[in-house]
Amino acid sequence: MNPLISASQLREALAAGQKPVLLDVRWVLGRDDGAQSYAAGHIPGAVFVDLEKELSSAPGEHTGRHPLPLPADFEAAARSWGINAESHVVVYDNSGALAAARAWWLLRHAGFDAVQVLDGGLAAWSDAGGELALGYQQPAAGTVSLSWGRMPVVEFDELDALEGTLIDSRATARYLGIEEPVDPVAGHIPGALNRPTTDNLDAQMRFRNPEVLHDSFLKLDAQRSGSAAYCGSGITAAHQVLAAASAGIELALYPGSWSEYCSYTDAPVATSDEKHRR
C-alpha cells in the first residue's frame, strides 16, 4: 500500500461509500492546543489523537522526550479510535505530516499495514473542496489486535555498529551545534549526515515526487541496508522514514533520538560541518 493518499483520492473513497478511520494528529512542539484546533475544524468523522498522551509514554532518564508508548497502551488507544482488523486508516495533521507520520509509523510498527497519511493534510483537504466539521467525534470502540516490533528500529547501544547511513533529520543549525532550543546539548551523533525533514516537502507542504525523494536519499547512500534516521525525540524522524518509504527505501528509526543520546554524558558529540551534507 502506498503510504500516502491524496485529498482527491480520499474524497473519491468517501464518495464511493468507503468509511476509513480518520485520525487527526494536531500537534506542534511546545504547544498544547491540538484538541482545540481539532474542535475548531476537522475532516468530518475524524477522531482527535493526542500525540503526547497516546503516541508517546512518560519520559525517563534515558528515554528521550517522546518514548514509544507501551504496546498494550497503544492497542487500547487504537481501539478507542475505532480501529478494527479490517479498517483502512488515514492519518493527517496541519503541519506537513510531521506529527501524522508518528501515528503512521506506530501503526505499522504494531503490525497494522492498512494505514496511509493524507498528503498535504488538512489544507489539502480544504483545497480539494472538502468540508470541515466542528466539535469532537467519539467513535464506537474498535476491536483491533495489534503486535509490536514490525518496523526496523535502532537503539542507543547499536549506533556504533550501524552499517548504513545515519540521517540527522533536524534543522541544519541544530545539527551543526549552532543552536539548540530544546535539548541540553548541541551538536549531532558523530558520523551522521544532515537531511532536514523539511527537504521532504514542497512549498505546499506536500511530499515531493517519489523520484525526487529517491534521488535525494541516494545521495546519502541511504538505500544501504541498516540505514536509519533520528531527530530530536523520534517524532519527525518518522517523517523521514515515511518519505523514504514513499520512495521505495526502508529506513530504521532511532526512537530516542538526540534527546536520548545526549542524556548519556559520555556519548561523543560532533559539531563540525565537514561533509555534513552531500
Q: Which of 231, 242, 243, 244 is catalytic?
A: 231
Q: Note the pLDDT tens digit of each residue in 52-82.
A: 999 999 999 999 999 999 999 999 999 999 9
In Å, what is the CA distance from 188 to each residue of 144, 165, 167?
A: 39, 14, 10
CB 91 within 8 A of CB 116: yes
Q: Give the Cα separation of 172 and 192 in Å (integer).
A: 12
What is the residue-averaged pLDDT of the chain? 96
The DSSP code for 25 is: -
Q: Can 231 be counted among the known catalytic residues?
A: yes
Q: Give the Cα separation of 194 and 173 in Å (integer).
A: 10
- Which element (helix H / strand E) includes 95? none
- Of 205, 194, 209, the closest CA to residue 278 belongs to 194
Instruction: Answer whether residue 276 shows pLDDT above 60.
Output: no
- Of 82, 27, 91, the closest CA to residue 56 belongs to 27
> How many residues belong to the chain?
278
0.85 exceeded by pTM: yes
- Of 197, 277, 191, 192, the closest CA to residue 241 belongs to 197
CB 208 within 8 A of CB 214: no
Name every residue whose Cβ is closer than 8 Å to that of residue 57 and which is 6 or more positions away in sequence: 63, 67, 68, 69, 70, 73
Q: Which three cell numbers stand for residue 78?
A: 487504537
CATH number attached to the domain at 156-261: 3.40.250.10
Q: Note the pLDDT tens digit of each residue in 209-227.
A: 999 999 999 999 999 999 9
Indicate the burial class of 179 (C-beta count within 10 angstroms; 0-12, 13-18, 19 or more): exposed
Instruction: Answer whether residue 21 shows pLDDT above 60.
Output: yes
Whole-number pLDDT of residue 30: 85
| CATH topology classification for 4-127 | Oxidized Rhodanese; domain 1 (3.40.250)
Find how far residue 124's CA is from the centre of its chain.
18
Mean pLDDT of 162-174: 96
Q: Where are the domains of the chain?
A: 4-127, 156-261
Check for a shared fold between 4-127 and 156-261: yes
